[in-house]
Amino acid sequence: MTESRMNRRESPMNPNEPPKENTTGLLRLFVYGTLKQGYWNHERFCRGVLSVEEAVVRGRLYELPSGIPVLEVPEADVLAYGTADPLADVATQARLAAEFAARAAQHPDPGENGAPGGRWGPVYGELLTFDDPETRLPAIDHLEGFLPGGPSLYRRVLVPASTRGQRVLVWLYVEGASRRPPGRRLADGVWRA
């Protein structure tokens, strides 16, 4: 194993580097706030990312009074809920992705208005792919205030996303309460700090 592969998480990302041979699965995570490239949490929590791609999901994006973004997605788009077991969550993502590919037409593209009570639109962010879910996911869950089975600031859910004309399933963090987030709606679906 080369020095760069051994210290991958300490070095800048290399999107051309293949996954490790002993990978336990690939984690695909959609980010729309401080974990995006160029923002303060990206370097700390996303170092060693395998790839970063522009992506879009269906939802409503808000900016809280604190300046932090929060996403709301249609409950009908949620295919799974995050747990305390990152390897099980990655396995769920892989299993449902195979099933999803066979019936992708049943899920609206981002931007379609299909939910009662308001317009769901495109929310733009980045699709990050990691090969170390067993360490990566707990760290990001902690950052996002996601406590599986307990009261949480955010919930982690699995939803469809579009990237480069393909539909994929991604984990993302959404508001943790069942009410509309307090804050200003970002109608263009983009958060900029």
Residue 11 has pLDDT above 80, yes or no: no
What three-state secondary structure class fits 174? strand
User: In the prediction, which pLDDT does 179 show?
Assistant: 64
Going by the DSSP 8-state scheme, the letter that residue 49 receives in this structure is -
Domain coverage including residue 69: 3-185
**Which residue type occupies 133?**
P
At 97-122, the pLDDT tens digits run: 888 877 765 555 554 444 444 589 99
**191 occurs within a structural domain:** no
**57 occurs within a structural domain:** yes
**192 occurs within a structural domain:** no
Pick from 170, 136, 141: nearest CA to 8: 136
**Residue found under tokens 């593209």:** 109
User: In the prediction, which pLDDT does 175 show?
Assistant: 86
User: In the prediction, which pLDDT does 163 show?
Assistant: 92
Report how many domains make up the chain.
Answer: 1
Determine contact, residues 37/52, Cβ cutoff 8 Å.
Answer: yes
The whole-angstrom separation of Cα 19 and Cα 33 is: 25
Residue 21 has pLDDT above 50, yes or no: no
* CATH number of the domain bearing residue 22: 3.10.490.10
Q: Where is 99: in which H helix or E strand? A: helix 86-102
**Which residue type occupies 82?**
G
> pLDDT class for 15, splitting at 50, 70, 90?
very low
